[in-house]
Amino acid sequence: MSFAQQPDIGSTYQGMQQEELVERIAARKKELAQDLLILSHHYQHDSLYQFADLTGDSLKLAADAAQIKDKTFLIFCGVHFMAEAADILSAEHQQVLLPHLDAGCPMADMSTRAAVEAAWNELSTATGIAEDAITPVTYVNSSADVKSFVGEKGGASCTSSNAERVLEWALSQGKLVFFFPDQHLGRNASYALGLSEEQVVLWRRGEPLGGCSQEALRQAKVVLWDGYCEVHMRSFPEHVHAWRAQDPQATVMVHPECRNEVVRLADMSGSTEAIISAVAASKAGSHWVIGTEINLVDRLTKQYPDKTIHSLTPACLCPTMSAVKPANLLWVLDNLAKGKVVNQIQVPQAIAAQARSCLDRMLSI
Ligand code: SF4
């Protein structure tokens, strides 16, 4: 699926001062309250996050949205795959809107259905493992198209909170698991389940047999797509060592999209929801070093002034998430007030049905 280009919202919106934006968005929210739900991912900047009716990670937001049937317009302050998941899980009469169409996820874009399908066939031929004995697992950070492929093949999606559980299920289904798009989440979950380095193999896009020998593929239990999150890739073991020296009493907690060398050095790893809960549950005076997107770390710092919270890595900002600005939200709201739906994200029915089965399978594991 390709996405439409972001329309020009015009200089009036782009030049508007923060104070005016706040006032006008609040007024529109009030006016449209009966039909409107605004959802925001934790990685959004506070200037936008403040308007959310619901906040959470991608799956929590989509699942929450699926429960709320009395609102027609769901404005998703996040990136494409999140809006798609909300559209797949929402009711037919609901419409999902993304305030800025350039807000994609570079990691999700690293695996297309065509590329995954071609690799799948190659993998089966090279290993001699029948296609139905290869179980696909896709991280929710993937397009609806990729999820529909996984749904068709009897696989499941996973999140950063349940990756180990879903992988364990997948390993029990057949002879091999094909995990995409995030190699780091897949590797971290595989090692947590006790798999050895030889059993976890990296498939490099664009190389024959993914750059692997037939023997390596035959020994593998999990084959990982070579996708990654450029934001979490900015954390290195050196950052952990530096913080250990600077604040020895701090607990280091990182997101599992970080490379395995970083996860192994950290005291804890977990999803954005797990990070928020761990900090919230800690005692006043606790010290934390958090390895994830900076907007979430900054928010925790403001929310818990009684705790010392550092960001593991400076400048850890998700550039596409931050394409969505309050001006884009106001533009969408103003159009809705005029009866015009803009930036709707609509997954074609045939794709949505299979993608839903991939999400449903995860929820049943
Ligand atoms: S933080 Fe990483 S995984 Fe999340 S939306 Fe940005 S690029 Fe994608």
Q: Is residue 182 part of a domain?
A: yes
- Which residues constitute the domain of residue 33? 11-104+320-347
Q: What pLDDT is attached to residue 5?
A: 86
Per-chain mean pLDDT for the chain: 95
Centroid of ligand 1 to alpha carbon of 211 (angstroms) = 26
Q: What pLDDT is attached to residue 123?
A: 94
CATH of the domain at 23: 3.40.50.10800
In this structure, the residue with its CA closest to atom 5 of ligand 1 is 105
Residues 206 and 281 in one domain: no
Residues 118 and 157 in one domain: yes
pLDDT above 90 for 145: yes
Of the three residues 185, 207, 229, the one that is the final residue of a domain is 229
Q: What pLDDT is attached to residue 314?
A: 86
Task: List pLDDT tens digits, range 166-216.
Answer: 999 999 998 999 999 999 999 999 999 999 999 999 999 999 999 999 999
- Res. 354 pLDDT band, cuts 50 70 90: very high
Of the three residues 172, 203, 229, the one that is the final residue of a domain is 229
Mean pLDDT of 98-120: 96
CA dist 37 and 33 (Å) reads 8
Residues 137 and 159 in one domain: yes
Q: What pLDDT is attached to residue 26?
A: 98
Is the minimum distance from the CB of 323 to ligand 1 under 6 angstroms? no
**pLDDT exceeding 90 applies to what percent of the chain?**
91
Residues 83 and 148 in one domain: no
Residues 298 and 236 in one domain: yes
Domain count, the chain: 3
The values of phi and psi at residue 287, to 5°, are -115, 135
Which residues, in sequence order, are CB contacts of 362 under 8 Å at separation 6+? 156, 157, 158, 159, 162, 166
Q: What pLDDT is attached to residue 1?
A: 58
Is the minimum distance from the CB of 106 to ligand 1 under 6 angstroms? yes
pLDDT above 90 for 59: no
Q: Is 68 left (phi over 0), alpha (psi -120 to 50) or beta?
A: beta
Q: Is residue 284 part of a domain?
A: yes
- Res. 2 pLDDT band, cuts 50 70 90: low
